[in-house]
A and B are shown apart, each in its own frame.
Chain A
């Protein structure tokens, strides 16, 4: 069993890095020392009327300073409350949760869309291979300068304001890119398109999924996805995104 802990983490800093997108560094006791790229945290809201954890991916891990970075978008009242929190305040987190990305030494695409981009940053830092970082945004960019340090960066924007006009696959085609393995996180339509691309090109493909969660640790069966084969734990064709994922081989799951 992978170790996980409930902790009161202290906010080291928080800043608004794009429209409605916030970056927060948290000082943790044990979680940072265990975390791997692609894992996530259950982050609890300061207001007790909002009960459920917000599953937020880990963007960066600083094991030496026992700190974790999360980058999240304000999508409702819970994340809005989080965005108002200040340096020095503490919040309850549980983690590290989920399986994380496998680290393979193959020529790779790291494909991120929107708020699916942040978990790829730690992956980009840890992967030891030729990395092509393909990031898709609606309009305004974030984290792109930090990604650039870890590989060749290609950007797509829906409005064409930066890089390729269109989506991440348009950027791959426009730049004539090739890879042996794909790691992807982003909105479901993007993941479906990436899965289709990987199948056509016969490339190994790993996707990080999301779903509404309650417990975050695999007990409640709230966040399942359909699996191609019967899952050994659930004994039906459902896998738990929080526990068996969030990273899956694209061909194993339906989304």
Chain B
């Protein structure tokens, strides 16, 4: 009997496949293509204390092997989210991780407190969005700030706290250690890499925001390297993400040190990517006679 269950700070996922925040809404749109019960967890798009309008359009640009986005964390605010999105997800037999965003430490804490009595399994604190002027990445590029915000969130959180780290740093290991020192239960990485595209015919930026976050297969090797480095810097579990489009990509991430993985941009070009990856991981384990997925976590290095 093959065991694909993984443990994230006491939360048991039936398999290591999660959705990457921002690519899956709150699951409702993809539920028309994917049986959400087959996912380890659904990770929601970031939610703030009040509704955010996000950035002007164009918000999306395609680049070779990837895409840039500058949505700017548009979200309906925590009140609407709690009354609509959580009850929708709670109907499914999957874990719920809510991604939390804010402009100030107080903003993050306000959302975390609102979620305390909700049927939510994990909190992912987004300190790495490159597309907003305040909050987001401003917290994620300074180890001291990472440690401090982690401490503040931990004081009010009732669920395990996952700190989502930015790859736009010199040393990912240092950031991972800062999150762990602040009391993080889990870390997730990588968020998108800051990029830019210029339309040479219009001689203008492709995105209204000028810069955007690069995601997709193009960033996968960067993500594998950073997960590997983070795994060697901390003892807490890691959710690995960045360009995962196949079971092979997912297994690579697990071998680098990720306990669970998240599928993001691949959902856009293959709406059934998540369940195909979950199935592919199981097949890989059968093929190599792996009884417990834990045997694969960090098995290389």
Contacts and interface: CB of A to CB of B under 8 A. Distances in A.
Interface of A: 1, 3-4, 6, 44, 48-53, 78, 92, 94, 211-225, 233-238, 243
A141 B48 CA distance: 50
Chain A at the B interface: SS class: loop
Given A6-B271, A53-B268, A222 B60 contact: yes
A218 B265 contact: no
A216 B61 CA distance: 14
A238 B74 contact: yes
Contact of A238 (B24, B53, B65): B53
Given A211-B57, A220-B71, A51 B62 contact: yes
Contacts, number: 110
A241 to B, nearest CB: 9
A219 B62 contact: no
Interface stretch (B25-33, B137-145, B148-156, B255-263): B25-33
A3 to B, nearest CB: 8
Contact of A222 (B69, B216, B267): B69
A224 to B, nearest CB: 6
B54 interface: yes
Contacts of B29: 215, 217-219, 243
B65 to A, nearest CB: 5
Kindly list the 10 A-B residue pairs having the minimum CB-CB distance in the complex, ordered from nearest: A235-B76, A219-B25, A222-B60, A219-B29, A212-B60, A217-B29, A236-B53, A212-B58, A214-B268, A235-B51
B76 A49 contact: no
B27 to A, nearest CB: 9
A235 B80 contact: yes
Contacts of B5: none
A221 B54 contact: yes
Interface string B31-51: 011000000000001000001
Interface string B240-254: 000000000000000
